[in-house]
Structure formats: structure tokens, C-alpha cells
Amino acid sequence: MAKAFVTQIVSANDLMEGDVVYLTTAKTWSRDIDVASIADTPEQAETLLAIGEAQQEIIVGAYLIEIERLENGDLKPLHFREKYRLHGPSFDYLAQPIIPSNTSSGV
């Protein structure tokens, strides 16, 4: 028996920044999952994925993710990996001090 279709959106990574982004109804990319264009059928999902994959100059690695619509309208990823990606890295590299590699550590 075939698996029932689950509502999906397109996710990717911004080519220049590396941030997780989602395809919007305007066929642009946003870091806000709640403005993502939603596919309610397999055909819509294929169409959205094709639109995303055609924008290789903007993003990398477009793929479909399964989501749930909450009562308040927010979108929630169903799989752990996507929940983790939604909230970003657990380590902020930009907040760390830059240590030049040519300095002696004194050891």
C-alpha cells in the first residue's frame, strides 16, 4: 500500500550565506518557514521542487520536507533533522574571537 501524501515545502541552503531557506509563493527564498509555499498534493510538490532546483545561482541542495500546519497557521517540520535545521547551528562561529594563526600561544 502506498504511503499517504504528507504536506510538503521546499528547503535549501542559501548559496552565499549557507543559511537554511524556504521557497515562498513569490518563488523567492526566505529564512522564515511560515511564508513557505505549501504543496498539498504530489503534483504541487514536484512543481515546487522544480522551481527551487532551477534557482541554482541562489541556492544549493533544494529538496522537499514534510511539514504540519499548526492551528495558529505556523508550519512545523515533522522530522528531527528539519527541526534542527530550522533553529540553526548550535554554535555561533561569528561570536567567537578571531585568533590569528601566526601568533605564538606561549606554550
Over residues 57-74, the pLDDT tens digits come to 999 999 999 999 999 999
Q: Which long-range CB contacts under 8 A does 12-21 form with residues at least 24 apart?
A: 12/52, 12/59, 12/60, 12/61, 12/62, 12/63, 13/59, 13/60, 13/61, 14/58, 14/59, 15/56, 15/57, 15/58, 15/59, 15/60, 19/88, 20/85, 20/86, 20/88, 21/59
Asked if the structure places residue 19 within a domain, the reply is: yes
pLDDT surpasses 70 at 105: no
The whole-number pLDDT of residue 89 equals 62
The whole-number pLDDT of residue 82 equals 87
Asked if the structure places residue 37 within a domain, the reply is: yes
The whole-number pLDDT of residue 84 equals 77
Asked if the structure places residue 104 within a domain, the reply is: no
pLDDT surpasses 80 at 2: no
The whole-number pLDDT of residue 76 equals 93
The whole-number pLDDT of residue 106 equals 54
Q: Sign (positive/negative) of CA torsion 18, 23, 26, 27?
A: positive
**What's the total number of domains in the chain?**
1
Asked if the structure places residue 107 within a domain, the reply is: no
